Structure 1
Amino acid sequence: MSSAFLEHVNVTVSDPEATAKRLETWFGWKVRWKGAAKNGGTTYHIGNDTSYIAAYTPPEAPKRSDTVSYHTHGGLNHVAVVVDDLDATEDRIKAGGYRTHNHGDYEPGRRFYFDDDDGIEFEVVSYAD
């Protein structure tokens, strides 16, 4: 069996620089790369040494969809991020004005969810005691 791992997820956002700043604040990540991208757009790669989120925006403002991703074939339902300190991470997210929801404390860890400015749902989970 191979030792495959997920390197990145690419999502379309309204402002990749603002998305990068939020991800840096929430999760302590850094911009790994930024620059010109597909079809004249711009992309920021934000993450750590092994994985990242590619935040892409086309040259014209992307349109928001009212479609719920859980009902869309191939929809991105959420991005899950593992953290060491769930409570401190939730405090940082709430300090930015975001509402957290769907808290769960079950094996193998504790978690909560929230939606960012672009409507992307994040699951934040901790496996620490």
Structure 2
Amino acid sequence: MPAQLEHANITVTDPQATAAWMTQIFGWRIRWQGDAIAGGNTIHIGTDSSYVALYTPEKTPATGTSSYDTTGALNHIGVTVDDLDAAETLVKAQGFTPVNHADYEPGRRFYFRDHDGVEYELVQYDD
């Protein structure tokens, strides 16, 4: 069996707020929350098999050289959904703006940025 991605860890300004919209849009649940190894606080949100760690340092995150000090230090996070149109409705309901819609082999996608500027790609694959 090939290796599986278990989690990604991103720096956000408010883990509770990010977890709240992820629950609404992705249907994920909080798996764990508490003090982070690097100081600050972390929430693990996702499914039984994978999650995103939402980290915030003790001091307000700012641009820096370490990803643990930098909000949104990645290109994007891709999430598969069963119904892209329904997901887009939920994204808009959270106040985010879907952009860059595209149909491509083997599916459809769009992107949006959250309140921290982190970009998400939502993808629905054809059966």
TM (normalized to structure 2)?
0.89
User: Aligned equivalents of 1:39 and 1:10: distance in 2?
Assistant: 12
TM-superposition CA deviations, 1:52-94 (whole Å, max 9, x none): 10000001110157xxxxxxxxx51000000001000000010
TM-superposition CA deviations, 1:32-62 (whole Å, max 9, x none): 0000002321000000011110000001110
User: Aligned equivalents of 2:22 and 2:63: distance in 1?
Assistant: 20
Partner of 1:33: 32
Size of the aligned set, in residue pairs, is 119
Partner of 2:18: 19
User: Aligned equivalents of 1:120 and 1:48: distance in 2?
Assistant: 20
Partner of 2:50: 51
Identify unmatched segments of 5+ residues in structure 1. Answer: 66-74
1:20 touches 1:46 (CA, 8 Å); kept in 2? yes
2:111 touches 2:119 (CA, 8 Å); kept in 1? yes
Task: Tell me how far 1:29 sits from its aligned partner.
Answer: 0.2
In structure 2, what residue type is equivalent to 1:42? N
1:120 to 75, 99, 118: 118
Residue aligned with 1:99, SS: coil
User: Aligned equivalents of 2:63 and 2:117: distance in 1?
Assistant: 8
User: Aligned equivalents of 2:102 and 2:50: distance in 1?
Assistant: 25
2:78 touches 2:122 (CA, 8 Å); kept in 1? yes
User: Aligned equivalents of 2:85 and 2:32: distance in 1?
Assistant: 29
Cα-Cα RMSD: 1.3
In structure 2, what residue type is equivalent to 1:79? I
Farther-moved stretch of structure 1 (45-54 vs 32-41): 32-41
2:106 touches 2:126 (CA, 8 Å); kept in 1? no
Identify unmatched segments of 5+ residues in structure 2. Answer: 65-72
1:76 to 74, 77, 81: 74
Matching of residue 86 in structure 1 with residue 84 in structure 2: yes
Ranges of 4+ aligned residues in structure 1 off by more than 2 Å = none
2:100 touches 2:111 (CA, 8 Å); kept in 1? yes
